[in-house]
């Protein structure tokens, strides 16, 4: 057999051995009604999965090849789509090798079926981009999208490169696009969720809606867009600043009040920092001050 004909069986065997070696990193996360998604075994007693795909039952089962152990939800962070479960008994796992996503790289997305047997999809890294913020305000270290589709039950499993190194956790994006929560984000967020039950973020206690600044006020405001205050949590930094519903927030510490910049500003390091808020109230621009608090759970 010539070299070209030999390549395909070799490739196939190589993929099979990578998949077989990754078996200890996958489980099915199943509820009492036998609905399930896939999970990534992070440590012998910690499994990570997709926050958006999980319900909020008291009890779950982690299933591998028909063997189930009980588990419960330890913490969840919609901002990064990471949910952490604690297993009642240790699960066999293996040491994690961190992979880095390269555009065009061959990837394997692993999942599990209802009995915890492996499922696999193969594809390419479709795009790799800079860090981004989710609609729930979480920071994701890198934008990684794949060219594959996943069944809904395969969400939450590990995504591996050709060497079997962990690129991250699969997540359903808009219109069926499969995104990856990078291993760097998991390594940053999972230990914090296990330790504290939450991710520390800065908090103003405001429900805000982006608005266009009315034309008549654009000169005095110096901005064309702002965030209108819809409601204010009791005793929150927003309440202490004296904000009122209907106020239009223009800047925080001279940075324009926009969704992305505010999500970036309100990271863990912002807690306790005094900030200056510029707002429009009744057609006039005014300045207020407050101290950023920690987001309550």
Partner 1 sequence: MRAMASSWPIPARRSVAVSAADPLRLAKLTEMVEAAGYSLASVDTADVLLCDGEPPRSDVPALVLGASRSEHAGVLPADATQEQIVAALHAIAAGLTVRLPSRAFSELRDATAQELLTPRELQVLAAISDGAGNKAIARQLGISLHTVKFHIESLFRKLGARSRAEAVAKGMEFVRDTVEL
Q: Which residues bind partner 1 (CB under 8 A)?
A: 31, 33-35, 50, 52, 54-55, 81, 114, 132-135, 137, 143, 151-153, 171-176, 179, 203-204, 206-214, 224-225, 228, 230, 246, 248, 258-260, 262-263, 266
Q: Which is nearer to partner 1, 116 or 164 (CB)?
A: 116
For residue 6, the minimal CB distance to partner 1 (Å) is: 38
Q: State the nearest-atom distance from the C-beta of 98 to partner 1, in Å.
A: 22
CB of 161 to partner 1, least distance (A): 22
Kindly state the smallest distance separating residue 211's Cβ from partner 1, in Å.
Answer: 6
Our CB check for partner 1 shows the closer of 22 and 54 to be: 54
CB nearer to partner 1: give 19 or 150.
Answer: 150
Rg of the chain on CA atoms, in Å = 23
Which CB sits closer to partner 1, 25 or 80?
80
Q: Which is nearer to partner 1, 143 or 240 (CB)?
A: 143
Sequence-separated contacts (24+) of 144-148 with Cβ below 8 Å: 144/101, 144/168, 144/179, 144/180, 144/182, 145/173, 145/177, 145/178, 145/179, 145/180, 146/107, 146/109, 146/170, 146/178, 146/179, 146/180, 147/123, 148/107, 148/109, 148/121, 148/122, 148/123, 148/178
As measured in angstroms, the least distance from the Cβ of 21 to partner 1 is 28
135 SS3 class: coil
- In the bound state with partner 1, the residue whose beta carbon lies nearer, of 78 and 191, is 78
Closest approach, Cβ 157 to partner 1, in A, equals 15
DSSP string for 225-277 = EEEEEEEE-TTSHHHHHT--TT-EEEEETTEE--HHHHHHHTSGGGTT-EEEE
């Amino acid at each position: 057999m010539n070299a070209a004909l030999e390549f395909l069986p070799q490739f196939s065997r190589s993929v099979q051995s990578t998949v077989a070696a990754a078996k200890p990193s996958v489980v099915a996360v199943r509820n009492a009604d036998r609905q399930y998604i896939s999970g990534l075994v992070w440590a012998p007693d910690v499994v990570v999965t997709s926050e958006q795909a999980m319900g909020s039952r008291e009890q779950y089962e982690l299933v591998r090849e028909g063997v189930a152990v009980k588990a419960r939800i330890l913490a969840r962070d919609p901002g990064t789509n990471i949910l952490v479960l604690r297993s009642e008994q240790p699960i066999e796992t293996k040491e994690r090798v961190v992979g880095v996503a390269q555009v065009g790289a061959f990837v394997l997305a692993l999942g599990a079926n209802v009995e915890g047997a492996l499922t696999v999809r193969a594809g390419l890294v479709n795009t790799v981009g800079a860090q981004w913020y989710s609609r729930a305000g979480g920071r994701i270290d890198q934008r990684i999208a794949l060219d594959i589709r996943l069944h809904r039950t395969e969400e939450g499993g590990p995504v591996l490169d050709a060497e079997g190194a962990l690129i991250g956790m699969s997540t359903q994006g808009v219109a069926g696009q499969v995104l990856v929560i990078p291993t760097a984000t998991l390594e940053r967020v999972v230990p914090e969720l296990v330790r504290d039950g939450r991710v520390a973020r800065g908090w103003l206690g405001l429900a805000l809606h982006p608005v266009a600044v009315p034309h008549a006020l654009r000169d005095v405001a110096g901005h064309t867009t702002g965030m209108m205050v819809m409601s204010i949590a009791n005793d929150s930094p927003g309440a202490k600043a004296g904000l009122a519903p209907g106020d239009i927030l223009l800047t925080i510490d001279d940075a324009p009040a926009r969704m992305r910049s505010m999500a970036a500003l309100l990271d863990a390091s912002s807690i306790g920092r005094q900030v200056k808020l510029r707002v429009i109230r009744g057609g006039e621009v005014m300045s207020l001050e407050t101290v950023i608090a920690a987001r309550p759970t």
